[in-house]
Chain A
Amino acid sequence: MALDDRKSEFTFVGTRPDRPDGLDKVTGRAKFGADVSAPGMLHGAILRSPHAHARIVKIDASKAEAHKDVKAVVTRADFSDKVPFQPGLEGEFWNVLENVMAGEKALYDGHAVAAIAATSALAARDALKLIEVEYEVLPHVTDVDKAMASDAPVIREGAADYSVPEGMHPNVVRYHESGHGNVDAGFAEADLVIEDSFVTEATHQGYIEPHACLGMLGNDGKGELWCTTQGHWIAQKTCAALLGIETSQLRVTASEIGGGFGGKTTVFIEPVALALSRKANRPVKLVMSRSEVFRATGPTSSASMDIKIGMKKDGTISAAQGVFRLQGGAFPGAPGDMTAMCAFAPYNLTNVKQIGYDVMANRPKQAAYRAPGAPMGAFAVESVIDELCKKLGLDPVDVRLKNAAHEGTQASYGPTYERIGLVETLEAAKAHPHYSAPLKPGQGRGISCGFWFNHGGETSVSLALSEDGSAQLMVGTPDIGGSRASMALMAAEVLGIPYENIRVTIADTASLGYNDVSHGSRVTYASGLATIKAARHAVERLCGRAAAKWGIPVDAVKWEDGCAVPSGPNAGDFDPMPLADITADMGATGGPISGHFEATPEGAGVSFGTHIVDAEVDPETGKTSVTRYTVIQDAGKAIHPTYVEGQYQGGAAQGIGWALNEEYVYGEDGRLQNSIFLDYRIPVASDLPMIDTVIVEVPNPGHPFGVRGVGETGIVPPLAAIANAVSHAAGVRMRQLPMSPPRILAALKDNG
């Protein structure tokens, strides 16, 4: 049978049907992490360090253990001692273990030191007070620049990997340097060189659902775990390693997930619930409070950055250089490498050099947050480009178009781009009515481009046909934003049966092979590609069955509009055989018909976006209002355009929060000062305008339908676009995020 590998005309793809889980989610029926219970279930609670950095001298849990309501107490000793410490990210299991439960030292305010399982949530919370911990408080550091200084307290010796140049402070644990050309020669060619420094604070992913799980582990090493996660296979693998059990003996089921944005790509409480369960021999439910979420999960990195860009009078960038220092908490992993590689990626540069540092400080272990590392770099770089445009009297879109990367450009991070859509987004921005709309006095307009790599990742999908001609599709990537709808659309497209006849399930770890996490904007790309291939696999078998029924060779049958048909006039004269006619008696014609895909799709296709923002600054209060916002982004091919728009709007809204309000505030004592939503203020409905979207479609050559991931790129341009708008509105360049009212007032005052 013949199958076109690439497709550009679609029946189902590109339509906007209701999502399959819609009814459950508007009636309160959908089961999220904290929504389940089990017979005999205990409730867990975690004791957390009040100190930013302290040696744990002694933990005395005897009073807690003696309490009648308490059924188990665990500390680090209850986890595996076989997890090796290794430098950098090579020892990530050890890093996660150390974060899940402190070893010799508490490394940040909120670091877990012990946990209790008791007969009720209140009893567990009360019993935490019975655990006595003796701390020896140590000097701490929370600021990235101070953490790199020679007098900074050392968080952990030996955490630096091979990449760190000699002579750096032990808190610098990874180093990245890349680029091409000769930046010094490039700067010499420039008519104007601007060098400037920028700072961004850590922000939290801010998902509304706190981490929650229900774990059961017996002393036979067999367990069950229900949890809210972006990836239940990584949870399975990590929990097994941390508890010293076999991976396959732990079955993990992903609940409905109430937001993740990267923050639920690892484990925090899951191994603790399992350790408590193993000790108590009863199921244990653990649910974080919001304050625990802020103090001990996420956040993204804070950053300090130096940018130098040279431009000719005609707008050509002659050289660009950036140094990006990212603080990632008390563990290796801050994405300084990603920041460096993404920062200049939108541009076609002859001379470029970027350096990234991964720096440890006494803060929670950073977690990925939507295009991790990219938004900060874009903020710094696009601010300098804006300033160059202003000083040289050039249009900011024209300058970006002049320098825009395209197919064949050598990327700032090395390789040559395949077909990409940046130019198309810039042209759409230039043509958009927003870009030419008049501004009112006191308003400013900013634009920015943004880049993200996108990711493929290990993917397993199974598709099984039922006798009545319906299909069940099992995917392994938790659905955070409507992906079950996209999967069903892609399967419908290949099978030629209606969208409604396909039931998509997020399978548990016992039902499919390994699946990488729902991250890296990979779900619609990779699980989508896997779905298409699994459906094609099923179609091959359907054609084979039809061929057998007709008594003609299998290569004389092709698949059209949901039916097997003879591939040509020589194949024979048969009426089209619909899918349901083939499945109706499949048990008697050769058995069940299913399709599978297990591989790592390679070819995710990089993604670009351009944002336009209007902002108004109140000079009396320093408050900024975003008055108009337009997102333009390349989706490759939008499978369900409404949910693509949703990703664009959500990314922009999170970017607005990051730019204007959100920040981790630490006191002199190293404790987090704003660990509730009242004080860590994310955008509310009355803060935002409608967010307009333009979906550009430049097909990704690496996907059968042309899909590029869309989840992350939308948060890359907003910080810079808003900073540029605010800087124009306020008449002063803003170099530090968030641009909160006090900072704007201070900048206005400094500017006279």
Chain B
Amino acid sequence: MVEVHLWSGLRSLTGGQQVVEVQAKTTGELLRELVRAHPQLQAPIDAGVSIAIDGRVIATGLTEPIPEGSEIYLMQRLRGG
């Protein structure tokens, strides 16, 4: 199991939880499992999210490995100028 830290604006979609536990070995699994556990997370995920694994921000890849015990933050997808 990995703990996924959400940004606090998402609490309204997860019944107040800001940290969600899911079973996932890759970024793709993580997103799938998040939506399975909390279907309302589909909208923010569709709008674009990045996943920070131990501080490294993964913007798109679904196959990035998630090591056991790593620190996972879901972030809004970044845009730039």
Interface of A is mostly: loop
- B59/A455 in contact, CB under 8 A: yes
- A163/B44 in contact, CB under 8 A: yes
- A602/B80 in contact, CB under 8 A: no
Count residues of A near B (Cβ-Cβ below 8 Å). Answer: 51
For residue B2, CB closer than 8 A to chain A, the reply is: no
- B54/A520 in contact, CB under 8 A: no
- B7/A414 in contact, CB under 8 A: yes
Given contacts A162-B13, A176-B9, contact A261 B81 (CB under 8 A): yes
Given contacts A88-B47, A702-B56, contact A265 B7 (CB under 8 A): no
- B80/A522 in contact, CB under 8 A: yes
For residue B58, CB closer than 8 A to chain A, the reply is: yes
For residue A89, CB closer than 8 A to chain B, the reply is: yes
| A591 → B minimal CB distance (Å) | 31
- A162/B40 in contact, CB under 8 A: yes
- A265/B81 in contact, CB under 8 A: yes
Given contacts A165-B12, A602-B64, contact A368 B81 (CB under 8 A): yes
- B56/A602 in contact, CB under 8 A: yes
For residue A387, CB closer than 8 A to chain B, the reply is: no
- B81/A372 in contact, CB under 8 A: yes
Q: Inside 8 A of B22's CB, which chain A residues have their CB?
A: none
- B8/A519 in contact, CB under 8 A: no
Q: Inside 8 A of A263's CB, which chain B residues have their CB?
A: 81
Q: Inside 8 A of A335's CB, which chain B residues have their CB?
A: 79
For residue A600, CB closer than 8 A to chain B, the reply is: yes
B9's closest neighbor in chain A, by CB? A177
| B75 → A minimal CB distance (Å) | 6
Which of B8, B52, B57 contacts A177, CB < 8 Å?
B8
Write out, one digit per residue, whether chain A residues 327-360 have a CB within 8 A of any chain B CB (1) or not (0): 0000000010110010000000000000000000
- A415/B80 in contact, CB under 8 A: no
For chain B, give the interface size range.
Answer: 20 to 34
- B7/A338 in contact, CB under 8 A: no
For residue A204, CB closer than 8 A to chain B, the reply is: no
Given contacts A175-B9, A370-B81, A602-B64, contact A457 B55 (CB under 8 A): no
Bound-complex Cα distance A458 to B75 (A): 18
Q: Inside 8 A of B1's CB, which chain A residues have their CB?
A: none
Bound-complex Cα distance A418 to B79 (A): 20
- A414/B73 in contact, CB under 8 A: yes
- A162/B52 in contact, CB under 8 A: no
- B8/A90 in contact, CB under 8 A: no
Bound-complex Cα distance A262 to B48 (A): 19
Q: Inside 8 A of A519's CB, which chain B residues have their CB?
A: 79-81
For residue B32, CB closer than 8 A to chain A, the reply is: no
For residue A369, CB closer than 8 A to chain B, the reply is: yes
Bound-complex Cα distance A88 to B45 (A): 13
- A337/B76 in contact, CB under 8 A: yes
Which of A179, A417, A457, A712 contacts B59, CB < 8 Å?
A457
- B80/A372 in contact, CB under 8 A: yes
- B79/A415 in contact, CB under 8 A: no
| B31 → A minimal CB distance (Å) | 15
For residue A150, CB closer than 8 A to chain B, the reply is: no
- A520/B76 in contact, CB under 8 A: no
Write out, one digit per residue, whether chain A residues 83-108 have a CB within 8 A of any chain B CB (1) or not (0): 00000111000000000000000000
| A43 → B minimal CB distance (Å) | 30
Q: Inside 8 A of A177's CB, which chain B residues have their CB?
A: 7-9
Bound-complex Cα distance A560 to B73 (A): 41
A165's closest neighbor in chain B, by CB? B12
Given contacts A89-B48, A163-B44, A602-B64, contact A178 B8 (CB under 8 A): yes
Q: Inside 8 A of B8's CB, which chain A residues have their CB?
A: 177-179
For residue A161, CB closer than 8 A to chain B, the reply is: yes
Candidate in B40, B46, B57, B64 with the most chain A CB atoms within 10 angstroms: B57
For residue B5, CB closer than 8 A to chain A, the reply is: yes
Which of B5, B13, B60 contacts A458, CB < 8 Å?
B60
- B64/A712 in contact, CB under 8 A: no
| A680 → B minimal CB distance (Å) | 18
- B81/A162 in contact, CB under 8 A: no
Q: Inside 8 A of A367's CB, which chain B residues have their CB?
A: 81
16 example contacts (A-B, Cβ-Cβ < 8 A) are as follows: A89-B47, A162-B44, A163-B44, A165-B12, A177-B9, A261-B81, A265-B81, A338-B79, A341-B76, A368-B79, A372-B81, A415-B52, A418-B56, A452-B80, A455-B80, A602-B60
Seen from chain B, the residues whose Cβ lies within 8 Å of a Cβ on chain A are 5, 7-10, 12-13, 40, 43-44, 46-48, 52, 54-61, 64, 71, 73, 75-76, 78-81
| Extra contacts besides A415-B54, A603-B57 (15): CB < 8 Å | A88-B47, A161-B47, A162-B43, A162-B44, A176-B7, A338-B78, A368-B80, A413-B75, A415-B52, A415-B75, A453-B57, A453-B78, A458-B60, A520-B79, A712-B81
